[in-house]
Structure 1
Amino acid sequence: MGTATMTAVLGAALDLVLPRDCAGCGRPGPTLCPACSDELAGSALDETGPVAPVPVPAEWPGCSGTLRYEGVSARVMKSFKDDGRRDLTDPLARLLADAVGRELMRHPAGGGPVLLVPVPSDPSAVRRRGDRPTLVLVRRVAHLLGPAVEPAPVLTMARRTADQAGLGRQARQDNLKGAMRVRTPESVRGRPCVLVDDVLTSGATLGEGRRALRAAGSGSVGMAVCMVTPRRSPPPALPFRRPAD
């Protein structure tokens, strides 16, 4: 079979299994159409420094993010997480790698690589989705950043929790309190970590993951996300600010 024929056959096969519409607007075409790509770029955070939800959770160290979670960016993330759009892995991983890179500058490590720790997924979500979306991103980020980082899916759920989507800030914190643990504490003991999630909302998930890592004896724990949730009330400013020194 010639090269041209093989290419045509593979293209036809891919048409059967890969999405051929824009994840941002649903129109037929590439994974992200030019208009949605432009809107995604326009949702970049105004500041590249560490951010925090308001009110700031106790002992919040700051978190690096890249985009606001709204409009096209929110639809893209939901498509990746809930609709199986793994063709979005590379663009989302590049956004996350940008945030992780800034955390590495904030928490420089001496010696070995920094552990990239994805927040754990609820077991029922893993069964429904067939994989762990945040772990998928972490592995791609590690490939992009090279030997400075090492994927480390060491966190697991210690107990069942309610779905965070319908909960307020305090309820989210109560729901997750003591809910995570490190499978093998010796794997993180003394090691610098960057804890990774897809979206920062109340900070409850990242805060609990950081607590579990520190309880297991980790070194410094930075935090990075692709996106942060903006205020839903009229003021245009994000409800995130630099933590007080």
Structure 2
Amino acid sequence: MTRGLAGALGAARGLVLTRACAGCGAPDVGLCLRCRAELAGLALGVRGPVAPSPVPPGWPGCHATVRYEGVATRLATAFKDEERRDLAGPLGRLLADAVARALLASGHARERPVLLVPVPSSSAAVRRRGDRPMLLLARHAARHVGPAVEVAPVLSMVRRTADQAGLDRLGRLANLRRAMVVPRSGRVVGRHCLIVDDVLTSGATLSEGQRALLSAGAATVTMAAVMVTPRRSPGVHLSFRPPAD
């Protein structure tokens, strides 16, 4: 069993048995056995960093855990937009797996704690949802990673942006260009930062966060995500291979 498969299975088992299955709607179970197996099957077949294609300038590589398709897509949607915050635990463990590998690859965990920076939510999204989902995931991930990381929600949105879901790669880049800042740059000056998101598609969100952190004086910026989007068009695909049967 690969580490990614074991991590996906472990996260699936950790779902609290409340409400309907977040994957298929089966009653009285947080995630049914069939959906657990599907989630485990989505574990990435590579353990190193992945990148969108074309690769954004200055892309440092992004570690991730599962592919964004099937049950993983349904879990991500349920967590962020359907008030299934009970999924923060298992999704946070999947993120923790990616964060731990990113720390190992960078070597920064041997120094002072790395700042674990969630991508920011827009003001409109906070009003609609009532909280910041990525901050919640980052906190859950940090509990599993331990003292090597320190959650630091230092990024803020400075202007309104469109919903990324309906945009192509170039549209996503334009939509987020210079949309993020670090209001209190002293928090990140000279620090190693690891920016985290739920889903990596074009890399626009993580790249903009990276730019803002480096502009504020961060020493380095690495990346991790829970999920990565499989190839959808020649302009948007990721350098990973599906797991072997």
**Fold-level similarity (TM above 0.5):** yes
Q: Kindly name which structure, 1 or 2, has the bigger radius of gyration based on alpha carbons.
A: 1
Cα-to-partner distance string for 1:44-98 (whole Å, 9 max, x where unaligned): 1110110001111111111000000001000001000000101111110010000
Cα-to-partner distance string for 1:163-221 (whole Å, 9 max, x where unaligned): 11111100100111111000210000011010000000100000000000000000111
Cα-to-partner distance string for 1:141-175 (whole Å, 9 max, x where unaligned): 11111111100000000111111111110010011
Partner residue, 2:243 = none
Partner residue, 2:176 = 176
Q: Is the 8 A contact 1:197 1:226 kept in 2?
A: yes
Partner residue, 1:239 = 237
Cα-to-partner distance string for 1:5-55 (whole Å, 9 max, x where unaligned): xxxxxxxxxxxxx95110000110211111101100000111011000111
Aligned to 1:196, the other structure's residue is in SS state strand
Partner residue, 2:215 = 215
CA distance in structure 2 between the aligned counterparts of 1:129 and 1:19, rounded to whole angstroms: 21
Partner residue, 2:105 = 106
Partner residue, 1:60 = 59
Aligned to 2:170, the other structure's residue is in SS state helix
% identical aligned pairs: 61
List aligned pairs for 1:74-153, cutoff 5 A. Answer: 74-109=73-108, 110-153=110-153
Scaled by the length of structure 2, what TM-score is found? 0.87
Q: Which runs of 4+ in 1 moved over 6 A?
A: none
Q: Is the 8 A contact 1:107 1:220 kept in 2?
A: no
Aligned to 1:105, the other structure's residue is in SS state helix
Matched, 1:201 2:201: yes
Partner residue, 1:190 = 190
Listed as ranges, the gaps of 5+ residues in structure 1 are 1-17
Aligned to 2:237, the other structure's residue is in SS state coil
CA distance in structure 1 between the aligned counterparts of 2:104 and 2:118, rounded to whole angstroms: 19
Scaled by the length of structure 1, what TM-score is found? 0.87
Amino acid at match of 1:205: T
Aligned to 1:39, the other structure's residue is in SS state helix
Partner residue, 2:3 = none
Aligned-residue Cα RMSD (Å) equals 1.6
Aligned to 1:224, the other structure's residue is in SS state strand
Amino acid at match of 1:129: R
Say how many residue pairs are matched: 222
Cα distance, 1:239 vs structure 2: 2.5
Cα distance, 1:231 vs structure 2: 1.3
